[in-house]
Structure 1
Amino acid sequence: MALGNDDVFDAFLSQRGHRTEPDSVGWKRDHRKKQCPECGGLHDPPATECSVCGWAPHESS
């Protein structure tokens, strides 16, 4: 099975003790706004997805 460039890089880092995946990805907070972790777009607190890039936090099952 061939690995993509990202997979090879992640394997290289994880073999050396680095974390390659965050435990959970969610909104960042910037003063009174939510900040998208993908593009940095700022949104009001009720936002459920980024209106700039379309990112939305993953729902835990």
Structure 2
Amino acid sequence: MATAPSTDDDLFDEFLSTTGHDTGPTEWEESYNKKQCPDCGGVHDTAAAECSVCGWRPAGR
């Protein structure tokens, strides 16, 4: 018998992964020589560590 997810986030992640969505850590999207924020779509230089539009940072950074 399978165990139940421990939190609502775990339950949501389980649902997303079973329906074909990626639930791993989010990183910058890259296009040509720019980085794009996955939250708001702001475009930044490759040296950016934080989105200057919405403040998003990659997980673990």
Structure 1 residues without counterparts, runs of 5 or longer: none
- Is residue 14 from structure 1 mapped to residue 20 from structure 2 by the alignment? no
Cα distance in 2 between the residues matched to 1:48 and 1:14: 30
Matches within 5 A, 1:1-61: 10=12, 14=15, 17-19=18-20, 22-59=23-60
Cα distance, 1:21 vs structure 2: 5.3
Distance in structure 2 (CA, Å) of the matches to 1:39 and 1:28 = 11
Structure 2: 5+ residue stretches without partners: 1-7
TM-score by length of 2: 0.66
Structure 1 segments, 4+ long, off by >4 Å, are none
Cα deviation, residue 22, structure 1:
2.1
1:18 CA displacement: 1.4
| 1:31 Cα deviation from its structure 2 partner | 1.2
The number of residue pairs the alignment matches comes to 54
Task: Return the TM-score normalized by structure 1.
Answer: 0.66
